[in-house]
Amino acid sequence: MSRLVLTALRGQLPPGLFALKFWRVQGQIRMLSSLPVAAVCQMTSTPDKEANFTACRRLVEQAKEGGASMVFLPEGFDYIGSSREETLQLSESLDGDIITRYTHLAKKLDVWLSLGGFHERGHDWKTDQRIYNSHIIINGQGEIVSVYRKGHLFDVELTSKGVSLKESAFTISGPRLVPPVQTPIGKVGLGVCYDLRFPELSTALQRHGAEILTYPSAFTVATGTAHWEVLLRARAIETQCFVIAAAQVGVHHAKRTSYGHALAVDPWGVVLGDCGGSDVGMAMVQIDLQGLHNVRRDMPVQQHRRAKEYYCSLD
């Protein structure tokens, strides 16, 4: 059963950031604020695409009822296959059924969607049956406004941890970053899962105006336990951005389990929302851009950066 996570602050907020307030009307939870609200979602995808869509639609509808203007869904929101063959067979193009249904949903509810980790058939599908891991932004009119194809592929063999994944066996690495997207909650810079481990990506997006970084993910339990929260907080602190990371949780099939803990972090590194490690649900968070600018003003890290030549001087 899905649940709405009422987020609680951990630690002491600096001046200019905020506490969360809620009010209840006829059983619905809504935020009491004029600030824009984002919903970061957590789900358990399986190879059943229809069941996954039903679960996502329910989360998006619940988020809209709660006052969210943008909803973030995790990597593999469409499905998580149990084999390479099934993963490829279930894939679609951007103009296929699944994305068309999400464009209709966004338009119907007048809500922006971050669909983070769609199995998109490659441009040479007929001759080279491989896919992109694509992060798609859809606006409230149901239009696709940005597509980022994951640049860093998860090819990892952690024998002692029981982790063995080779994403490049069926996935094409994306060719480039895409500019941050202006949304109702601020300028959003796009990554996907393993991209989180490469700070060059987040700092590049921040230099091009990002106020919010998003890393929809399906972290393994072993890597999530060790690295998930600390990496997300590090990306937030070093870029002085909000970080929103939707996540997969629980058992997808016999070969795959995900860590969960969909997270939202503020520019000071404070965790604003954590969906936990077991349940499907969401965290509703307010995006205070004035608080972000206060943090950047009081600690002007970006102004203190040296010229590129300085950081290359060891080369």
d(CA 272, CA 88): 36
Once rounded to an integer, what is the mean pLDDT over residues 21-41? 64
Q: What is the mean pLDDT of the chain?
A: 89
Write down the catalytic residue from 193, 211, 241, 275: 193
- What are the angstrom distances between the C-alpha of 209 and each of 25, 212, 247, 306? 37, 9, 25, 18
| Residue 30 β-bridge partners | 23
Q: Contact at 8 Å (CB) between 56 and 22?
A: no
At residue 31, the pLDDT reads 55
Write down the catalytic residue from 120, 150, 187, 275: 150
Report whether pLDDT(223) > 60: yes
d(CA 239, CA 259): 25
Any catalytic annotation for residue 193?
A: yes
Once rounded to an integer, what is the mean pLDDT over residues 61-70? 97
* pLDDT digits 0-9 by tens, 296-312: 999 999 999 999 899 99
Report whether pLDDT(275) > 50: yes
At residue 21, the pLDDT reads 37
d(CA 280, CA 17): 28
* pLDDT digits 0-9 by tens, 126-154: 888 999 999 999 999 999 999 999 999 98
Domains of the chain: 3-311 (3.60.110.10)
Please tell me the number of Cα atoms within 13 Å of 204 on its side-chain side.
Answer: 12
Any catalytic annotation for residue 150?
A: yes
Task: Give 17 or 117, the one with higher predicted confidence.
Answer: 117
Q: Contact at 8 Å (CB) between 109 and 39?
A: no
Once rounded to an integer, what is the mean pLDDT over residues 267-294? 96
Retrieve residue 115's tokens: 């669909």
* Predicted structure pTM score: 0.89
Write down the catalytic residue from 41, 56, 64, 75: 75
